[in-house]
Amino acid sequence: MDDLAISEEDRARLQEFRAQAMDIQMGSCDSCHEKWFDISDGKCKTCQRGSKFQESNAMYPGPDVLELPELTQMEEMMIARVHTILQVWQVNGGQFKYSGHCCNFPRDTDTFHTKLPLLPSECDVIVL
């Protein structure tokens, strides 16, 4: 019962692995602002190869919004800039599948907020 579960050599390897894992830092790409672990020279591997997701191509999504609190589904839909329509089917076994096309419609959130409050019957939310 006094024996260790792992040897001292294995314990040293685990500590070395943990130390190396803790040294890994997540970086942000200067071009596409993607956050990932393999950022070198300020660019992710995709941007190093040449990417369409860059500010010069008007594909920068904007800065991260860290100040947003946890939002409900309705609150997320109210501030979303795009409204998505997608067909979802339930198949045998209770799983869901997507069928057909996915349509994204831009939404003018400024106009939408001037019409608040909406009646619950006017809100297009379906909870499965």
46 lies in the same domain as 86: no
Cis ω before 117 (30° cut-off from 0): yes
Cβ atoms of residues 99 and 90 within 8 Å: no
- Is the residue at 51 inside a domain? yes
Cβ atoms of residues 81 and 105 within 8 Å: no
87 lies in the same domain as 121: yes
- Is the residue at 63 inside a domain? no
Total domains in the fold of the chain: 2
For the chain, count helices (H), then strands (E): 4, 4
Cβ atoms of residues 49 and 43 within 8 Å: no
74 lies in the same domain as 53: no
39 lies in the same domain as 77: no
53 lies in the same domain as 73: no
| Range of the structural domain that residue 102 is part of | 69-128
> What is the pLDDT tens value at each position of the chain, 128 positions in all?
566 677 888 888 888 988 888 788 788 888 777 787 777 778 887 777 765 666 777 777 677 666 777 878 777 777 888 888 888 888 888 888 888 888 888 887 777 666 666 676 766 665 55
- Provide the pLDDT for residue 1: 54
